[in-house]
Structure 1
């Protein structure tokens, strides 16, 4: 029988993402929210905007009164805070990345299993209906053989104090691409550069190889771009598809476009590349759109109530962290690095 009692959730960190979690959860009649933030100013802002919520200055002060914890704090704090909550047998959702090392992520997965509670990773785009539609298109074979995938996640600003642009932005795209292809990359190379400040790279290109799909993907991430871009382009040998998360009403477009190779002439030569270009209809399938964060947080609450395994469990987060660690190794070596020790949890 499903427990219908109210669920009390501590949202740790009332910043950019934490405030969004509080907004989403405060709209549910069956969820009580406690905002945990060391800043008195932010706690007061949360209480002003969301009547009826509780507040606390540290996680330890909230653990006795909550059932679950959502961590929306800087990535380097994730492992310590999540471990504290898991030791207290609280269900935990951690914003991406799950941790900043595979060793820490492994420890969280093991502790969640020992405590018998849910550990979920906040890979929000796996709860996005446009990404689900794109996965449906890819899986159906409509695009034919996938030749390559190009992803871009660019904007001006939101420099992070404790991780570089790869660890900040690329988890989204690694999550999306592995979700689309039903596998994690087996190898990765990376180019990244620091342009502003003296600590972290703010622009990068990752190249990932997906062995089973026999295809490559390139991910461009930047904190230093004048245009905000959230786009994934999937190029098949029959059709192509573009997912643009910033589009108002056509987030997914399928292009009946491609290139066909003609035969060479009788002498085996040609003045130009012997190809024909095909450009046909552009189709934008209907999407019933719900805010992905709402879908994700609703799913987390359901998992807390029922004990069901989340769609993006801790093991999924661990796998993404392993890819990020391989990217760091590739940056240091200047070559291609294998992604080792993948758990291989099926995406979604």
Structure 2
């Protein structure tokens, strides 16, 4: 393969135009096709002077030897057949979240990509933001110490989805970020989920996920379609420092606090003190790291192209998508049992 990746984008709806725009701005990518069942919509997205060809024939895309990869931005139910056909045609694949509509189909895709030596990547866009990249550096570099808790809130007014509950709609973002942040060897071992449908929609519009991690730490995710205000925050608490990510605050997305609770060594306590609290409160500085402003989708497209050219696994590969879907599957089982914890081994 040359140093340029020939690409086709599949789907000209909500997300496809964003993929087209960022792929065309990525030096290592040569966008050749935009494919959609609505040919006029595809032409409208491209405009009159684009060098990209619009088509409603997926077969024409897959038959083009100059196409090395496809980026799929279609409804979730179509992800599996489209991605599998591309892998069968020898194309690398980028898929919008969720990877597939079912866990079994997702696993089949991952295995097919591995068998064929092809890249299968999930478009977990938030993982490529400057804030999450810096947060990952802090977590995996040990700057926070041992992770003690994670609290994430993703709430807004709408859009209420007709076919999936709020957990499947919003929580994949937070779960993908959590999976991306955690050091190697740290995993989710159990999941409890609670949901409510106060408007009679028929599906949960408010949801809470509680995740037990293999280290003994706990993560909590709150998602909601009914909030009159939009909140996007994540707090990652460590034994040394705590980071607050506020995605709605462009001037200070990350705040690193040298504040927390320390456990005292019993040997340092007097006989009377040992019957009282064995903790001390630490109150240090707050630092707001300078972040480079960059479009996450552009970074993601660069990662996709680089992983193909370098023959390596992308940062958010198909297996990352499977791990997110496994947590959501466990959450569904927990909802059916009244919110009890479901061991992840049940769904793996």
TM-score by length of 1: 0.87
Residue 264 of structure 1 deviates from its aligned partner by 10
- What secondary structure is seen at the aligned counterpart in 2 of 1:186? strand
Q: 1:303 aligns with which of 295, 303, 307?
A: 307
- What secondary structure is seen at the aligned counterpart in 1 of 2:244? strand
| 2:22 is aligned with 1:24 | yes
Aligned to 2:93: 92
Structure 2 CA distance, aligned partners of 1:202 and 1:149?
22
Q: Which moved more, 1:282-291 or 1:194-203?
A: 194-203
Residue 82 of structure 1 deviates from its aligned partner by 1.1
Q: Which moved more, 1:52-61 or 1:72-81?
A: 52-61
Aligned to 1:346: none
Q: Which moved more, 1:234-243 or 1:329-338?
A: 234-243
Q: 2:246 aligns with which of 244, 247, 261?
A: 244
| 2:211 is aligned with 1:208 | yes
Structure 1 CA distance, aligned partners of 2:317 and 2:97?
12
- What secondary structure is seen at the aligned counterpart in 2 of 1:113? helix
Structure 2 CA distance, aligned partners of 1:90 and 1:342?
29
Aligned to 1:336: 341
| 2:190 is aligned with 1:190 | no
Structure 1 CA distance, aligned partners of 2:306 and 2:275?
64
| 2:222 is aligned with 1:223 | no
Aligned to 1:287: 291
Q: 1:49 to 1:246 in 2, by over 3 A?
A: farther
Provide the aligned length of Structure 1 versus Structure 2. 338
Structure 2 CA distance, aligned partners of 1:144 and 1:303?
30
- What secondary structure is seen at the aligned counterpart in 2 of 1:340? helix
Q: Report Cα offsets for 1:66-114 as digits up to 9, x if no partner.
A: 2211111122221121112112221101111111222111111122123
Asked if the contact 1:185–1:208 (Cα under 8 Å) also holds between the matched residues in 2, the reply is yes
Matches within 5 A, 1:107-146: 107-146=108-147
Aligned to 1:39: 38
Q: Can you give the 5+ residue segments of structure 2 that lack an aligned partner in the other structure?
A: none
Aligned to 1:60: 59
4+ runs deviating over 6 angstroms: 261-265, 267-270, 273-276
Q: 1:319 aligns with which of 320, 323, 342?
A: 323
Residue 301 of structure 1 deviates from its aligned partner by 1.8
Residue 269 of structure 1 deviates from its aligned partner by 8.7
Q: Which moved more, 1:258-267 or 1:139-148?
A: 258-267
Q: 1:329 to 1:14 in 2, by over 3 A?
A: same
TM-score by length of 2: 0.87
Alignment RMSD (CA, Å): 2.7
Asked if the contact 2:330–2:347 (Cα under 8 Å) also holds between the matched residues in 1, the reply is no
Q: 1:47 to 1:143 in 2, by over 3 A?
A: closer
Q: 1:269 to 1:98 in 2, by over 3 A?
A: same
